[in-house]
Amino acid sequence: MRIASLPDFLLQRIDRATGQPVNRQIYQVLREATLSHQLPAGLQLPSSRELARELAMSRNTVTHAYEQLIAEGYLETRAGAGTFIADTVPDQIVDICRNSRGDTDHLGQVGLSNRGAQLIQRAGVSALQWGAFMPGVPDVTQFPSKVWSRLQNKHWRRSRAELLSYGQGGGYLPLREAIAEYLRVARSVNCRTDQIIITTGIHQSIDLAAKLLGEHGDRAWVEEPCYWGTRSVCHSLGIEPVPIPVDAEGMQVYQTDASHPAQPPRFIFVTPSHQYPLGTVMSLSRRRLLLEYAAAHKAWIMEDDYDSEFRYGSRPLASLQGLDTHERVLYMGTFSKTMFPGLRIGFLVVPEGLSAAFATGHSELYRGGQVFTEAILADFMTEGYFASHIRRMRVLYGERLRLLQQAIEHHFGDAIDFSDGDAGLHLALHLPPECNDVAISSEARAAGIITRPLSGYYMQAASTKRGLMLGYACVPDAQIAPAFDKLAGIIKRHWPA
Amino acid sequence: MRIASLPDFLLQRIDRATGQPVNRQIYQVLREATLSHQLPAGLQLPSSRELARELAMSRNTVTHAYEQLIAEGYLETRAGAGTFIADTVPDQIVDICRNSRGDTDHLGQVGLSNRGAQLIQRAGVSALQWGAFMPGVPDVTQFPSKVWSRLQNKHWRRSRAELLSYGQGGGYLPLREAIAEYLRVARSVNCRTDQIIITTGIHQSIDLAAKLLGEHGDRAWVEEPCYWGTRSVCHSLGIEPVPIPVDAEGMQVYQTDASHPAQPPRFIFVTPSHQYPLGTVMSLSRRRLLLEYAAAHKAWIMEDDYDSEFRYGSRPLASLQGLDTHERVLYMGTFSKTMFPGLRIGFLVVPEGLSAAFATGHSELYRGGQVFTEAILADFMTEGYFASHIRRMRVLYGERLRLLQQAIEHHFGDAIDFSDGDAGLHLALHLPPECNDVAISSEARAAGIITRPLSGYYMQAASTKRGLMLGYACVPDAQIAPAFDKLAGIIKRHWPA
C-alpha cells in the first residue's frame, strides 16, 4: 500500500524559515511519524526521485534523509520493491493517539447528553446482522446481482453529471414515478408522484416527519410491543413514545377517549399489515376507528408497511393510507426487505398538501440522496425485475416459514405457540412467562444462533410477554431444522419445571 | 411496462362472498382502476392464461372480463403484443387522488410544526445542483468511473452477504482503516480506526453529534457567515445557532469571556482550513484560543473540513483536531467533494472516549450505512485511486480558479475583490453594500448562471456582506470566461452609480 499524500504530510511540517537543513527536517518528521505510528509499519514510501519532484526539492536532499533513516532502522529497502516503513520499532512506540479508552458504563462522564446517554443505554441494535435466525433480514444471496451490475454499468457508461451531484426535490423523479405506480397497484395507496419522498429507509422517514410535523415535547403513540427503531428515533428528537397495547385486532384504539391518555398524540405509529413484532393484522373496524380518531384529533398516522410484499397464501391487504379520506396518513416503505438492507433506500408517501414541504425539507436536512443508485433502482423496477424478484422470494420465504413451523412443531407440538400472520420475514415464538427470553437469546447467541428476546420490544413491565423473534427468510432451507434443533435444546433447558 | 402485481391488486378487491360473479368483479375493478388512473394508460396486462393461473381461477372467467372491457374501450389489444389499458378515456377521468394542492405559503395550515415551518422558510438548498457556477460541486464528469465500475463488479461477483445486510458498529472496518490512515498522513488528524464513524455526509455527522452530545435548548456557535446546512440541522434538533463574526483570522474567539454571550455554547462549528463561505484560513493563535476556550468551557468543537484536499500552491494545513490535547474536537469530512456528492458518504472522527457510543448510536439512529458501497470505496482508497484522483483534480481545479480570477480581473480590475484562500471549489466575489446580491443571483439564474448570494450565509443584518458565491470546479475551462461574461453584464447593471 502507498500513501500518495506523503508529500502533503511533509510539506505541512517542513519550515524553511528555521534554517535547519531540509534533509534533517525530513528525517525528523519521518522518524517521529514512524515512532508514533502516524506512518504505519509496512507502508511503502515514494522513490526519492518521485518525492523530490513532489516537494520541489533536489533529489539529494531526499536521498540523504532516506539513507539516514535506513541506517537507523526506521526505513527498510526491499529488493526490487522500494522503500518501506520498517516493521520493528516495538520498544520505542510512543502512542500519541488517545489512550484513555472511553468507559461506556459512565456515558455521562464521557460527555454524552441526557438524550444521548438514554439512546445508548436503550440501544436495540444488534452486533450481528446475518445468520440463522436474524429477524428482518431477507436472503440477500438470492438478489439478482448480475442484472443489477448490468444496469449499474449501463448508467456508468452514460455517466450523466446530474446523477452524481447532490439530489434534491424528494429524489430522482423516475424512481418516484415507479414507486407511485407500484404502490397504487400493489398496496392500494392513493398517491401521485410528487407525494413520494425517497429516503434512506424507515428511520430517516420517521426523522423527517418528526422534524417537520412534530415539536420537541410532543407525544407519539406506539404499539406495545413495537420496533425498537421507532422508539429510538422519537426519543432522539424529544418526542415521547407512549405505549398502546396491541390485541388480536391491532392497536387498542377505542371510540371513547376515556381509555386513552388525556392528551392526544401528535403521531400514531402503526404496522397494520403485519404488526411488528407479533405478526397480527389490524382489523378493518380498528382501522376505521384509528382513522376517525386521527382525523378528530389532528394526529398523524405513521403507517409502517415494512414487509407487506411477503404474504403467503392469504389475500394481500390494502394499505391503511388507501382508506384514509382526511389526509392524516403518512405511509412508509423500504427496499431493505424487497432488495437488500445495504441499499439504504426507502420512501415516504405524504399527503399532497405536505409534498412540497417534505421535498424541500429532505434536501435541506440530509442534502439529498444517492441519485445514481436511485436511477438504477428505477430501471430495476420499470423493467420488471423488482416484481419478479419479489414473486420468487415470496415462494422461497413461504417454504422457509413452513420449514420453521415444522421444526417448532416437531420439538414442542402444542406446548408452544407462535405468530407469523402468514407473512413477512420472521415469526414470534411465544414462551411461558417464567422463561427468561433474554437469557435464552444470549445463550443461543453464544451457540451461534441469533434471536431477539420478545420482551425487548415492550416498554412496560406489566404488558411484557416472553418469546423469541426468529427470522427465517435469510436461512437456507437445509439449515432451518438443524439451527432450530440447537435453539430448542436451549429453550428446553429454560422451560419451567 | 408491465405490472406484475396486478394479481395482488385484483385479489385485494375481489370478494367471493358477495355472490356476484367473479368475472363481473374483475371487470368492475379493472374498469374503475382505469378510470381513476390507478392503472395508467399504456400498461400491459398479463395474458388471460397467466392471470387466471395467478388468481387460481378458470381462464374463461378472466377472458370474459377482458372481452367486456375491450368491447367497451377500456382495454385494447395490439397485434402480437398483448392487452393494454386503453389510451383514450379522457372524458371520464375521475381523479380519486387528492386534488387539494398544498399551499406552501401557509406552512402551519398544512400541518407543519413550528420547527418544520421555520426549516422550510429558511431553506437554503437550491433546486439546481449542476452547472456554472454551482458552488461546492466537484467536476463529477472527471470521476474515474471505469475504475469504480470494475471494483464494483468485482464485489458483486464475490457478493458476500454481510456487505448487503444492515451495517453496524460505525461502518465497514476496512474503510474506517483506510480513512484513519489517510487522515493521519494527509490531515495530521490524531486518530485510531475505532474513532472513525462512517456517515452519509456532514449533515448526518452533525445530526449524530447533536443528538448524542447535545440537549434540546442548547446553543451552538456558528461562524458568521456560515454554511446554511449547519444552521438547518441545528434548528431541526432544537439547538440554537449563535452567530460569531469571522475576521481575517477566523472566528472571533477572544481570551476574555466578556465579549461573548454569557452562557458558553455546547458546540462550536468552525471551518478552520477554508472558512465557508469566505475562504479564509484560521490563524494558529486563533486556533489555540479556540481550543483553550473549548477545554475550559467543556464545549465541543465541530471541525468541518469539507474541501481541504484542494489547496493550490500554498502549504497544506494541519487539522485543528491534530492540535487538540483535551479531546474536545470532532472532525468531520466528506467524500462529496473528493469523489462525487451522490455517493453520500462522509465521516466523523470522535474523541476516543466517545467512539463506542457513536458507533452504537449511529446504527441505532440510522440503521447503518451502505456497506457494499463502503467496501468499494475502501478498495478505491487502498489501491491508490483516491489519492491520484485528488492529485489530478487539484491541478484541474487550480487551473479553473486561475481562469475565473482572470475573468474577474478582465471585467472589473481592482474594482472588485474576491476571496478564495487559494483553495477549495469556490470563491466569494465581494460586492459593494449597495448591490442587491439576491437580485443579481436570481437574474443570473434566469440567464442560466447559478450563483448564491453571499448575504444568504449571514444570520444578522448588521454583519451581512454582499457578494456572490461562484463555484468553478465543475465548470469546463472553456466555459468559465463566457459564463462569467454573462454574469459580469448582470453585475454591472446592478453596480451603484
Bridge partners, residue A470, by sequence = A427
User: Are B149 and A146 in contact (CB < 8 Å)?
Assistant: no
pLDDT classification of B89: cutoffs 50, 70, 90: very low
Pick B158 or B325 by higher pLDDT: B325
Evaluate if residue B104 carries a pLDDT over 50: no
Cβ–Cβ under 8 Å, residues B488 and B431 = no
User: Are A97 and B190 in contact (CB < 8 Å)?
Assistant: yes
Please report the pLDDT score of residue A4 as a whole number: 58
User: Are A344 and B38 in contact (CB < 8 Å)?
Assistant: no
Evaluate if residue A421 carries a pLDDT over 50: yes
The least confident of A62-76, B84-98, B307-321, B464-478 is B84-98
In chain A, the residue whose alpha carbon lies closest to the alpha carbon of B153 is A149
Which residue of B94, B104, B113, B305 to mutate against A (max A Cβ within 10 Å)?
B113
Q: Which of residues 369-388 of A touch B (CB under 8 A)?
A: 369-373, 382, 384, 387-388
Chain A neighbors of B382, CB-CB under 8 A? 1
Q: How far is CA A335 from the centre of its chain?
A: 11
The least confident of B210-219, B416-425, B475-484 is B416-425
User: Are B190 and A316 in contact (CB < 8 Å)?
Assistant: no
Bridge partners, residue A248, by sequence = none
CA–CA min distance B97, chain A (Å): 6
Cβ–Cβ under 8 Å, residues A66 and A75 = yes
Give residue-wise pLDDT tens across range B150-186. 999 999 998 788 899 988 789 999 999 999 999 998 8
Question: If residue B5 lies in a helix (H) or strand (E), which one and from where to where?
Answer: none
Global confidence as pTM: 0.81
Pick B475 or A103 by higher pLDDT: B475
What is the distance between the alpha carbons of residues B221 and B166, in angstroms, rounded to a whole number?
Answer: 35
Please report the pLDDT score of residue A253 as a whole number: 86
Nearest to A39 among B185, B203, B387 (CB): B185
The torsion region of residue A201 among left (phi > 0), alpha (psi -120 to 50) and beta comes to left
Question: If residue B147 lies in a helix (H) or strand (E), which one and from where to where?
Answer: helix B145-158
pLDDT classification of A67: cutoffs 50, 70, 90: confident
Bridge partners, residue A267, by sequence = A220, A300
Please report the pLDDT score of residue A10 as a whole number: 86
SS (H, E, C) B250-290: EECCCCCHHHCCCCCCCEEEECCCCCCCCCCCCCHHHHHHH
Q: How confident is the model over B332-354, as a mean pLDDT?
A: 96
- Mean pLDDT over the full length of chain A: 88
Nearest to A318 among B12, B195, B351 (CB): B12
**B125 in A contact zone (CB under 8 Å):** yes
C-alpha grid cell for residue B43?
Answer: 400498461
Q: How confident is the model over A261-268, as a mean pLDDT?
A: 85
Give residue-wise pLDDT tens across range B243-266. 999 999 999 987 445 555 667 899
DSSP E strand boundaries for A60-179? 75-78, 82-85
User: Are A110 and B357 in contact (CB < 8 Å)?
Assistant: yes
pLDDT classification of A301: cutoffs 50, 70, 90: very high
Please report the pLDDT score of residue A489 as a whole number: 97
**B130 in A contact zone (CB under 8 Å):** yes
Radius of gyration of chain A (CA): 29
pLDDT classification of B494: cutoffs 50, 70, 90: very high
Please report the pLDDT score of residue B87 as a whole number: 65
Which residue of A212, A332, A339, A395 to mutate against B (max B Cβ within 10 Å)?
A212
Nearest to B9 among A185, A336, A364 (CB): A185
Q: Which domains does chain B have, with CATH numbers?
A: 3-85 (1.10.10.10), 121-128+159-382 (3.40.640.10), 388-494 (3.90.1150.10)
**B477 in A contact zone (CB under 8 Å):** no
How many residues would you count in chain B?
Answer: 497
- Mean pLDDT over the full length of chain B: 88
Please report the pLDDT score of residue B273 as a whole number: 93
Chain A neighbors of B152, CB-CB under 8 A? 149, 152
Angle, helix B228-236 to helix B202-213, in steps of 10 degrees: 40
Place of cell 437469546: A441
Q: How confident is the model over B376-398, as a mean pLDDT?
A: 96
Please report the pLDDT score of residue B387 as a whole number: 94
Amino acid at A477: D
Please report the pLDDT score of residue B30 as a whole number: 85
C-alpha grid cell for residue B60?
Answer: 374463461
Largest Cα–Cα distance of chain B, in whole Å? 89
pLDDT classification of A255: cutoffs 50, 70, 90: very low
What sign does the dihedral A371-A385-A400-A132 (CA atoms) show? negative
Residue of B477, B476, B480, B467 whose CA lies nearest to B407: B480
pLDDT classification of B91: cutoffs 50, 70, 90: very low
Residue A219 CA: distances (Å) to CA of A120, A234, A265, A269, A463: 21, 9, 5, 11, 20
CA–CA min distance B416, chain A (Å): 30
Give residue-wise pLDDT tens across range B358-381. 999 999 999 988 999 999 999 999
Q: Which of residues 60-79 of B touch A (CB under 8 A)?
A: none
pLDDT classification of B5: cutoffs 50, 70, 90: confident
Nearest to B185 among A3, A110, A218 (CB): A3
DSSP E strand boundaries for A204-295? 219-224, 240-247, 250-251, 267-270
**B333 in A contact zone (CB under 8 Å):** no
**B284 in A contact zone (CB under 8 Å):** no
Please report the pLDDT score of residue A213 as a whole number: 96
